[in-house]
Amino acid sequence: MTKIDTRLNVAPVPPDEIFALNGAYAVDPHPQKVSLGVGVYRTDDGKPWPLPVVEKAEQQLVKDNDLFRHEYTAIEGDVPFLGIARDLMFGFEGKPSEEDAKARIASVQTVAGTGANHLGALFLAHHMKPTNVWLSNPSWANHQTIWELAGVPRKTYPYYHAATRSFDFDGMMDTLESDAQEGDVVLLHACAHNPTGLDPNKEQWVAIADLCERKKLFPFFDSAYQGFASGSVVEDAWAVRYFFNNKPDMEMCVAQSFSKNFGLYGQRVGAFHYCTNRASTSIRDIVVNNLCHLIRGEFSMGPRVGCSIVKKVLTSDELTAEWHQDLQVMSSRIKSMRQALYNELVRLQTPGTWEHIIQQNGMFSYTGLTPKQVYALKDKYHIYLLKSGRASISGLSQKNFAYVAQAIDDVVRNEI
């Protein structure tokens, strides 16, 4: 065996499960294969859906023929886009205190939601030095990687109650109450929790905000599905806006993604917003300055084309109205597929309870299937979902939901 002469100290790391699963699906020749893994919207024909309003914006941008369309932006990103992204997230809507509220928010453009999460984690690790970050159990797997790379110790709070397949509000609150320390970061999913699809109700969000304020915890919102989850950008931003408006003496931040709600998965459009408390607005520009220092050393500035599309849509009343219609199309199809799968499982009298499928929200369902059942679905039926049982509902269609339900029924019965 040849000795490798290197100064590197490296060992293999596990492949990303979602992308590995998608790769296996892509090369599977089976005619009835079904992809329930990757979190992207698909039509009922199983095809990508460039939003009609996005296509219209693209055509207008080509017609504009802006000579600066390939030029550098500022380090903080496209400044007009940042104001639009901020207003979409926080929803000022001409309130008397609008200028004071905006003065609290330091915004920069990022490489989509992943980049916003990463930049926020890095910024807090450098400048706040939290003892721990608290992640929901379970959470989006990439949250673990992002905070690991930022060097912040990770702890988890209960989130999913397996026996009832419901949100474990009491477990979450009890753990944070007893174990979280002042200055700890608490990562919260703004809506459409990934992977469970279970969100706190408004009363529970109020209680979570009260706990964060009382214990001096730092809320870090990941907002990946605004408008995509319910079809309403206002409803899906409710938690973020409540924390911001009703806890003005508490600092917080938001990682904002436009991948799902504009279908701009490959364009990498995102923003990071750091919210100062109302007594510290004088540091907003210093926060932006320090965020720019990190950005300059990593990627210099955010991508231009995707944010230009978002800007074109959200600066036109006509296109904005069309975008809201597109959001309704996507969210309605997801809801109808949840209902169709649930109805078929009930019709088949599949053992167990399946109400959680229609009680959950957004792109994903935490099905409650075991790893053994998931592997059986893949091996026997060529149905691909994560070993946790997380299924991307957008992979269901009128053509395959009955096939998927029958397969689930079979693997569940075979394990009894």
pLDDT in tens, 118-149: 999 999 999 999 999 999 999 988 999 999 99
> pLDDT category, 3, cuts 50, 70, 90?
low
**pLDDT tens digits, one per residue of 296-345:** 999 999 999 999 999 999 999 999 999 999 999 999 999 999 999 999 99
Burial class (CB in 10 A: 0-12, 13-18, 19+), 241: middle
The boundaries of every CATH 3.90.1150.10 domain in the chain are 17-49+332-410
Supply the Cα-derived Rg of the chain in whole angstroms. Answer: 22
410, with CB counted inside 10 A (0-12, 13-18, 19+), is middle
**Among 254, 293, 253, which Cα is nearest to 270's?**
254
Q: Give the pLDDT mean for 86-95.
A: 85
Indicate where the chain has its CATH 3.40.640.10 domain(s): 72-315
Question: Are 240 and 90 spatial neighbours (Cβ–Cβ below 8 Å)?
Answer: yes
Is the confidence at residue 112, as pLDDT, over 90? Answer: yes
Bridge partners (DSSP) of residue 295 are: none
The token pair at 306 is 């995707």
Mean pLDDT across 349-377: 91
In the structure, what pLDDT confidence band is assigned to residue 96 with cuts at 50, 70 and 90? Answer: low
CA distances from 23 to 37, 319, 340, 391, 403 (A): 10, 35, 27, 16, 22
d(CA 170, CA 255): 26
Q: Where are the beta strands (DSSP E) in 224-359?
A: 252-257, 269-275
96-100, 151-155, 229-233: which range is least confident on average? Answer: 96-100
Can you tell me the distance from the alpha carbon of 15 to that of 234, in angstroms, rounded to the nearest whole number? 37
pTM of the prediction? 0.93
- Quick one: pLDDT at residue 14? 83
Compute the 3-state secondary structure of the chain and give helix, strand, coil in percent, each to the nearest 5. 45, 15, 40
Task: Read off φ and ψ for residue 23, nearest 5 degrees.
Answer: -65, -40
Q: How far apart are CA 229 and CA 190, in angstroms?
A: 10
Q: What is the pLDDT of residue 83?
A: 95
How long a stretch of residues is the chain?
416
In the predicted structure, residue 1 carries a pLDDT above the cut 60:
no
pLDDT of residue 22: 85
Which residues are catalytic, by number?
140, 222, 260
- From residue 291, alpha-carbon distances to 82, 123, 333 in Å are 14, 7, 38
Class of domain 72-315: alpha beta
Dist CA 285 CA 305 (whole Å)? 26
Q: How many angstroms separate the CA atoms of 41 and 395, rounded?
A: 8
Average pLDDT score, the chain: 93
- 19, exposed or middle or buried, with CB in 10 Å at 0-12, 13-18, 19+? exposed
Instruction: Give every CB contact of residue 97 below 8 A, 6+ residues apart in sequence.
Output: none
> What H or E segment, with its residue span, contains residue 160?
strand 160-161
CATH superfamily of 17-49+332-410: Aspartate Aminotransferase, domain 1 (3.90.1150.10)
**Angle, alpha carbons 287-292-297 (nearest 5°):** 135
- CA 85 – CA 61 distance, rounded (Å): 19
